[in-house]
Amino acid sequence: MAAVLCVGHAVQDFVFTVDSFPDTAEKHRASDFAALGGGPAATAAATIARLGGDALLAARVGDDRIADIIVAELEAYAVDCSMVKRFAKRRSSVSAVIVDAAGERLIMNYLDPDLESQPDWLPNELPDNIGAVLADTRWPEGALHALTLARGRGVPGVLDADVPVPKDGSLVRAATHVAFSARGLADYCGNDDPLDALQAVAETTEAWCCVTLGREGTLYLSGGKAQYTKAFTVPVVDTLGAGDVWHGAFALALAERMHIDDAMTFAAAAAALKVANGKGRAGTPSRQAVDKFLQQNNTEKRA
């Protein structure tokens, strides 16, 4: 069974469903509510476990009740939380999430600025079974440490490059694979044209680079030329966590030594099913569901 170390953000989401986003500063009523785990690295770890991989999460939380809830839910997904560190007198991260009738979401997140940032409590070698590392940008110091270890081991080190990506380029250079969000790429490069921005990034790093564009699919470079992996068309229930599911599935596929094109297609299928299922992280599909979806959509694996 392939194993992935995920490093970064673990959050408790409070999700409110509305017909449309509020545009006035007054009390509004939600049509539905759910309390769900969130955070890029944490949701990616849950995805990896759902898809049949071994997931190990390294993250920072406080010493509060929210931390208990975050860890308990992840452990229920069979995520190994032995590297989730609780910091005394600190608060765990929480988000208020508003989802509209079209499935789009607005997120207001709080991350305690006094959480210890130095990763000196993380091991200086990857566990023997780790076949890939996935790091988000919410904890840059931890991400740099883990991605550097991945390069040293010779295993894929995937950067989930959403806002904010450090402008010094340290994480982009440390990773072997960089998967930007459209917003993350534009912010990092100061360029709203995805292809121009991606080509500019490619000149600064040896990493394989792509940018996920939602329903437009994934843009990547092959031999310096633009290539696309399509997104699957599904009914949208909610997009909450879809990018995190994509990254988790992609990292697992690389740990399983899939061809890069197959890895992107596998990730796209997992994200599509999450969008169609809704329910935030709870809508993450099983491996059986993803494999069946790929068969139904007549995808073929590369050698």
Query: How does the average pLDDT of the chain come out, rounded?
Result: 96
Q: Which amino acid is at 66?
A: I
d(CA 273, CA 234): 8
The torsion defined by the Cα of 138, 142, 143 and 145, in degrees rounded to 10, comes to 170
pLDDT at 91: 98
d(CA 148, CA 232): 33
Per-residue pLDDT of the chain (303 residues; tens, 9 = 90+): 899 999 999 999 999 999 999 999 999 999 999 999 999 999 999 999 999 999 999 999 999 999 999 999 999 999 999 999 999 999 999 999 999 999 888 999 999 999 999 999 999 999 999 999 999 999 999 999 999 999 999 999 999 999 999 999 999 999 999 999 999 999 999 999 999 999 999 999 999 999 999 999 999 998 888 999 999 999 999 888 999 999 999 999 999 999 999 999 999 999 999 999 988 899 999 999 999 999 999 766 654
Rg of the chain in Å (alpha carbons)? 18
pLDDT at 279: 86
Say if pTM beats, i.e. exceeds, 0.75.
Answer: yes
Residue 64: Cβ-neighbour burial (10 angstroms; 0-12, 13-18, 19+) = middle
Residue 288: Cβ-neighbour burial (10 angstroms; 0-12, 13-18, 19+) = exposed
d(CA 135, CA 83): 14
pLDDT at 300: 64
pLDDT at 105: 87
> If you count DSSP H runs as helices and E runs as strands, how many of each does the chain have, helices first?
9, 13
Domain chopping of the chain, boundaries? 3-18+33-110+129-296
CATH number of 3-18+33-110+129-296: 3.40.1190.20
pLDDT at 280: 84
d(CA 169, CA 253): 25
d(CA 254, CA 132): 7
Residues 6+ apart with CB under 8 A from 37: 10, 11, 12, 13, 43, 46, 69, 70, 73, 74, 281
